[in-house]
Amino acid sequence: MQDRLSGEKYDQFMIEAEVKEFWEREKVYEQVRRRKGRKFYFLDGPPYASAKSIHVGTAWNKVIKDAVIRYHRMLGYSVWDKPGYDTHGLPIEVKIEQSLGIKSKKEIQSVGIDKFVEACKGFVKENMEAMSRQFAEIGASLDWENPYVTYENSYIESGWWLIKRAHERGLLYKGYKVLHWCPRCETVLADYEVSEYRELEDPSIYVKLPVRGREREYLLIWTTTPWTIPANVFVMAHPQIEYARVKVGDEVLILARQRLEEVMSEAGVSRYEVLESFPGSRLEGLEYDHPLEELVDVQRELRQYHRVVMAPEGVTAYEGTGLVHAASGHGTVDYEVASRLGMPIVSLVDEVGRMTREAGKYAGMHFREEANRAVEEDLRRKGALFHSSRLVHRYPVCWRCKTPLALRATEQWFIAVTKLRDELIREASSVEWVPEWARTRFMNMLEEVRDWAISRQRFWGIPLPVWVCRKCKKYHVVGSVQELRELGGEVPEDLHRPWIDRVIIRCPYCGGEAERVPDVLDVWFDSGVAFYASLGYPANRQLYEELEPADFIVEGHDQTRGWFFSLLRSGVIGFGKSPYRRVLVHGFALDEQGREMHKSLGNYVEFEELISKVPRDVVRLWLLSSTVWEDLRFSWKGLEQTARDFTVFWNTFVFASTYMSLDAFDPEESSIESVESYLEPVDRWLISRTNSLIAQYHEAMGGLRPHDAVRALRSFLLEDVSRFYVRLIRRRVWEERDTPSKRAAYATLYYALRAWLLLAAPIIPFLSEYIYQRFMRPAERGAALSVHMMLLPQPEKHRVDEKLEREVSLIRELAEEVLAARANAGLRLRRPVSKVIVVPKRRELAEAVSSLKDMLAELVNSKAVELESEAFLEGLRAYAVKPLLGEIGREFKKLTPEVLKLIEARGAEVAQAIAERGYFEAEVNGERVRLERRHLELVAEYPEWLVVRESELAIIAIDKRLSELEEAEGYAREVIRRAQHMRKEARLMIEDRVVLWVSGDKEMVEAVRKMEEFVKNEVRAVKVFYNMPEEGAFAREWEIDDKKVTIGIRRA
């Protein structure tokens, strides 16, 4: 092997630049993609292309995807890796409005829809290019040249196909629905878009509705939206709640019994009398008059509907009066109850938030700002206002413009998803969810699924492919461009509005002219069809049929109700099945304090900044080490620590490369099979650990737990290889001659590092490629061009020795105890000790020590390790006793001083007796005294030359006594260490030989002389002189334990 790693300073940034250049030059990605294998259809959740800079969370998202993709490629799969972009929708329209300085739909029309839509497209294009660049930067190996883009004609056409499918299945319908409406954006908001609430102040009024045919008797209702009173149709009550007729002054009010006290106290009424109480069911059918009947045109037609109906779903006993005023066009429940009972749907607010003509006196008023006040005033004048105040409550506002929303019945197009509920549940159950709780969350959501309002009264979106005949008023759904052409439509170059709006087709029913309904589709529709639209289906059926279903998707947990759902919905509508097999849910990237990262909060970390400060692999390893489905806290410190791990990764490979090349090691010639009989326990251990790692890694990656894989990889290289194995093989590796033992160590180390390098490739693609090119590829015939074209190793079960792994881990634990004992006794590690005695407390430890004695001895720098029984220590142990005054005083009373004297005088004897038989008897002042364990504290004492430490594993005793020779070795090592330091200072090469001078303190010089062969070998000296260094030699005076020594070296 040739060393291509050492001698160069480790610079991860430089490495990444070079690797990138290599990938581009050799077209590695293209070659990786071209390889054939079993299909793995990965479907990219398209990020929304509304900004140029990606969020740390978006980067995390793509890094997870990339790790999974690379992993599958290295398993031999042919991975479908087309990325996507979500490009339509209101948020982008808003940005363009802002950049054009306009504020409403009307202004867009005056600018020209064509210009507006072109601006949207241009904006999105720039964003996509910037985002792709950043994704490629962190090494996301997706097909950035050919992403799927939701605004493309082919994609739009694929979208149309699903609307047509829905229509064919009888799921498409036009209906009224009460939905949140933004009067500023002039559009309906989907349920999940109603996400922002503000604390707003509103009126809180109690209104008296006169009961028809009874004098001075009223239904009492409560509302915070006076503007809905003109649209009142009926009143809802709960059949099981108790109601009361209450006399207040000369009037009678009807309200819930349970609400009585609170309502009266709020209204400041202290004197009232309950005339009778009864269940709500008795109120059914009770008619009333509308107090504003003569001011509101539509109310004259609604007279016949004004009555109390039973509607438990709309009434609670914890708020209001228990009687709920229903405005069928302005409340969700109101609408549902009205539909059920065949009541009319009345909506009196127009698209811009003004009261309609039917609202009579209030026509033209803004619903919140003006109508509220006017209605309240009129009610007061009519004597219908029982009480009025103000209240601050959470009120929904538009998520983009913060305008308070109105509930409003509007005409929209729907897909009857509720009809598909059972299918959805069946299909979702068959999906594998990681983690498992994602399934629970998803299922809970499906239980309450609603019909899907797909239409939007906007511009930048997939046009709704519905044409309505001017003559017969029937509508026709167009499923493709070809169909459009067949119906006589002139197909525009771009399928967006406004061009598509101008397409007139022939009505298939009456032959009349049909024009398009001007709506566009909900943007959630777009990404929901990605599973087939990104493959060009149905224009190109083959690709989809080959690839479906998607084998894997992964997005943040917010997408449960988002993309995961919209995909499933589209899958079931279009194909009757789930479009994906496995789902991984990842967390949110939060800031260092655990809050959401937002530009407006000033805690936003720019991706470009991140990547300029921290190498990509470091970012990746750090991101991937976080538990994937939990939220991630951004941390510069965490990244810094991760960067430090990389220096150890690097150093480990440099170490291997340096020595293997020095010894011309050839991994192909010296495989672990070829050195089998020379493998030492530590070698067999590392080989076993390597296979355990491989198994663990596959289990983690296969189970979509990349964090577990990363943690296993990290600890293997840091703990097992670098801090343990390399330390233990140093002596073998420094051996000058070519020994089988050294070769065995190299073979083992190469085997472990090779496996690690391959396993790490999906996680840290840059560094692993770099090291592969310089360490592995030149050493192996038939190694692929790139590490990413290699196959991952599979665990070889016969090489796993669980017993050995357990034993080594016990030995490591024990070694720590010994080191702790040494540290406590001030015995430095460099000085050997003559003997470590182990008295094991567990049988498996005894076995481990007896089979791995040498390993333990090496780890703790001891000349010998001996297993002994407790009896051995007992022989060396002496006990001191400490009387426990409390116990002794309580029992011996007046005799206590005498007893204490006895203990002091015959302490050793007392201790021995109690230790051996549990008691000691003697006569004191003529009385027989019996001392037991409870009277005394026994303190074990050992000879001065023995250091003892007891742990849960064993009792450890270290013999501090050193033989003369060992003492000399200790001193010699002190000299060696300093000579090594000087070699380094003198910039000698590792393989250079030197001449050494040692002079000064007699004991030191004598020690070196005794250990001369050892010293020469360690320092690579050809000769040692015991006098002052010659002129020109590199010399220095040292002080070691108060002894002065002069050391000199010169290259031989």
What span, in angstroms and rounded, lies between the C-alpha atoms of 138 and 417? Answer: 40
- Residue from 191, 201, 301, 1003 touching RNA (CB under 7 A): that is 191
**The tokens of 174 are what?**
């036009």
Identity of the residue, 81 or 720, whose beta carbon is nearer to RNA in the bound complex? 720
Q: Does 6 bind RNA (CB under 7 A)?
A: yes
Q: Write down the least CB distance from residue 65 to RNA, Å.
A: 19
Quote the least distance from Cβ 671 to RNA, whole Å.
23
From the list 28-36, 140-148, 771-779, 826-834, the region that binds RNA by CB under 7 A is 826-834
CB of 912 to RNA, least distance (A): 30
In angstroms, give the least distance from the CB of 746 to RNA.
14
Site for RNA in 236-275 (CB under 7 A): none
218 beta partners: 210, 253
Angle at 379 (CA atoms; ends 378, 384), nearest 5 degrees: 150
Please state the closest distance from residue 657 (CB atom) to RNA, in A. Answer: 9
In the list 352, 908, 990, 1022, the residue contacting RNA (rule: CB under 7 A) is 990
By the rule CB under 7 A, 923 interacts with RNA? no
Q: Are strands 452-453 and 406-415 parallel, antiparallel or unpaired?
A: antiparallel
* Shortest reach from residue 894's CB to RNA, in Å: 42
Please state the closest distance from residue 330 (CB atom) to RNA, in A. Answer: 14
Nearer to RNA, 377 or 844 (CB): 844
Other Cβ atoms less than 10 A from the Cβ of 721: the count is: 26
Contact with RNA (CB under 7 A) among 293, 480, 1018, 1050: 1018
Please give the residues from 385 up to 444 whose contact with RNA meets the rule CB under 7 A: 394, 437-438, 440-441, 444
In the list 1020, 1033, 1046, 1048, the residue contacting RNA (rule: CB under 7 A) is: 1020
Token representation of residue 57? 């969370």
- From residue 498, how far is each of 19, 381, 492, 495 by CA, in Å? 47, 50, 10, 9
Closer CB to RNA, 5 or 207, in the complex: 5
What's the length of the chain?
Answer: 1052
Closest separation in Å from C-beta 305 to RNA: 25
Residue 292 backbone dihedrals phi, psi, to 5 degrees: -110, 20
C-alpha torsion angle, residues 692, 697, 700, 705 (rounded to 10):
140
Smallest gap from residue 840 Cβ to RNA (A): 14
What minimum distance in Å lies between the beta carbon of 705 and RNA? 9
Touching RNA, residues 330-359 (CB under 7 A) = 332
Tell me how far CA of residue 314 lies from CA of 191, 308, 320, 325, 604, in angstroms. Answer: 19, 13, 12, 10, 43
C-beta closer to RNA: residue 243 or 524: 524
Least separation in angstroms between CB 993 and RNA: 9
**C-alpha span between 752 and 750 (Å, rounded):** 5
Taking CA atoms, 471 is separated from 475, 505, 519, in Å, by 11, 12, 20
> Under 8 Å CB-to-CB from 734, ≥6 apart: which residues?
1018
* The only residue of 829, 908, 1022, 1052 in contact with RNA, by rule CB under 7 A: 829
Given the complex with RNA, which of 734 and 919 has the nearer CB atom? 734
Beta bridge partners of 721: none
Least CB distance from residue 273 to RNA, whole Å?
A: 33
Residue from 601, 823, 1022, 1052 touching RNA (CB under 7 A): that is: 823
Residues 54-93 close enough to bind RNA by CB under 7 A: none
Closer residue to RNA, CB minimum distance, 561 or 1050: 561
DSSP H stretches of helix in 210-317: 260-267, 299-302
Nearer to RNA, 7 or 170 (CB): 7
Are the C-beta atoms of residues 858 and 828 closer than 8 Å to each other? Answer: no
Options 561, 581, 960, 1010; binder of RNA; rule CB under 7 A? 561
Annotate 652-709 with three-state secondary structure: HHHHHHHHHHHCCCCCCCCCCCCCHHHCCHHHHHHHHHHHHHHHHHHHHHHCCCHHHH
Footprint of RNA on residues 704-743 (CB under 7 A)? 711, 718, 722-723, 726-727, 730, 734
Q: Select from 199, 991, 1031, 1042 the one that contacts RNA (CB under 7 A).
A: 991
Cα 620 from Cα 20, distance rounded (Å)? 16
Output 199 or 1031, the one with its CB closest to RNA. 199
Interacting positions 939-978 with RNA (CB under 7 A): 952, 973, 976-977
SS3 922: strand
Q: Least distance to RNA from the beta carbon of 760, Å?
A: 15
- CA separation for the pair 758, 776 (Å, rounded): 10
The DSSP annotation for 164-207 comes to HHHHHTT-EEEEEEEEEEETTTTEE--GGG--EEEEEEEEEEEE
- Strand positions, DSSP E, 500-654: 505-506, 513-516, 520-521, 553-556, 582-586, 589-590, 632-633
From the list 102, 194, 401, 895, which residue makes contact with RNA (rule: CB under 7 A)? Answer: 194
Shorter beta-carbon distance to RNA: residue 551 or 974 = 974
Tell me the closest approach of the beta carbon of residue 719 to RNA, in angstroms. 8
With contacts defined by CB under 7 A, name the span among 226-234, 357-365, 784-792, 819-827 that binds RNA.
Answer: 819-827
Q: Determine whether 235 is exposed, middle or buried from the number of CB atoms within 10 Å of its CB (0-12, 13-18, 19+).
A: buried
956: β partners: 838, 949
Nearer to RNA, 216 or 828 (CB): 828
* φ, ψ dihedrals at 387, nearest 5°: -160, 150
Count of residues of this chain found to bind RNA when the rule CB under 7 A is applied: 76
Positions 846 through 905 that interact with RNA (CB under 7 A): none
3-class DSSP state for residue 390?
A: strand
Which among 337-345, 455-463, 627-635, 867-875 is the span making contact with RNA, rule CB under 7 A? 627-635
Give the nearest distance from C-beta 61 to RNA in angstroms.
14
Residue 541 CB coordination number (10 Å) = 12
Task: Please name which of 352, 351, 370 lies closest in space to residue 361, comparing C-alpha atoms.
Answer: 370
* Binders in 500-559 for RNA, by CB under 7 A: 557-558
The distance of closest approach from Cβ of residue 957 to RNA in the complex, given in angstroms and rounded to an integer, is: 17
Q: Is 4 in the site for RNA (CB under 7 A)?
A: no
- In the bound state with RNA, the residue whose beta carbon lies nearer, of 689 and 973, is 973
Residues 575-614 as x/- pattern, contact with RNA by CB under 7 A: -------------x-x-x-xxx------------------
Return left, alpha or beta for 602; rule: phi > 0 is left, psi -120 to 50 is alpha, else beta. left
Q: Which residues between 642 and 701 bind RNA (CB under 7 A)?
A: 644, 647-648, 651-652, 654-655, 658
Given a contact cutoff of 8 angstroms between Cβ atoms, the answer to whether 309 and 236 are in contact is yes
In the complex with RNA, the residue whose CB is nearer, 192 or 278, is 192
Residue 498: which of 460, 527, 470 has the closest Cα?
460
**Cβ distance to RNA smaller for residue 9 or 25:** 9
Q: How far is the CB of 825 from RNA (least distance, A)?
A: 11
Residue numbers 448-507 binding RNA by CB under 7 A: 448
* 437-447 and 421-429 helices, crossing angle to 10°: 170
Build a one-symbol-per-residue string for 123-152: x at contacts with RNA by CB under 7 A, - elsewhere: ------------------------------
Least distance CB 290 / RNA (angstroms): 27
Applying CB under 7 A, the span of 152-160, 297-305, 624-632, 898-906 interacting with RNA comes to 624-632
- In DSSP terms, which residues pair with 838 in a beta bridge? 867, 956
